[in-house]
Amino acid sequence: MKVEIGKLKLEKQNMLTLNQAQEQVDNWIKKHGVRYFSELTNMAILTEEVGEVARIMSRKYGEQSSKKSDTCDLEEELADVLFVLICIANQTGVDLTSAFRKNLEKKTKRDKTRHKQNKKLK
Ligand SMILES: [Mg+2]
């Protein structure tokens, strides 16, 4: 069964929960990473990876032109961001499923009419 999410069409059986992703990252760290980098090192890496996403976005969707040396793999860079974000969640004890649910509830309460009333979005 396929599910449409934005521009994606995904096979439902291939979907990964946030808890499963947190477990897979932890297993990878234990098997290949020796240990987690410190929280501050991972924060610096997260910033670096977000910068790589920004570089691609500025070239692909913005006015910035590409250099010959540029790589433009948005999928890879978003996955790099996700990986290190999950590392930070794991090492600081954040359950991303619970945190994400709470975040959506907060946004819904706070913004349920805000965006619909935004004339710039029409
Ligand atoms: Mg990267």
Handedness of CA 18, 79, 105, 7 (dihedral sign): negative
- Centroid of ligand 1 to alpha carbon of 102 (angstroms): 28
Cα separation values, 58 from 36, 37, 102, 118, Å: 31, 29, 31, 25
State the pLDDT confidence band at 10, using cuts at 50, 70 and 90.
confident
DSSP-based three-state secondary structure for 15: coil
State the pLDDT confidence band at 68, using cuts at 50, 70 and 90.
confident
The domains located in the chain, with CATH, are: 17-95 (1.10.287.1080)
- Centroid of ligand 1 to alpha carbon of 86 (angstroms): 15
- Centroid of ligand 1 to alpha carbon of 30 (angstroms): 21
State the pLDDT confidence band at 106, using cuts at 50, 70 and 90.
very high
Residues that place a CB less than 5 A from ion ligand 1: 49, 52, 77, 80
DSSP-based three-state secondary structure for 62: coil
Question: How high is the pLDDT of residue 67?
Answer: 87
Mean pLDDT of 97-120: 95
Question: How high is the pLDDT of residue 82?
Answer: 98
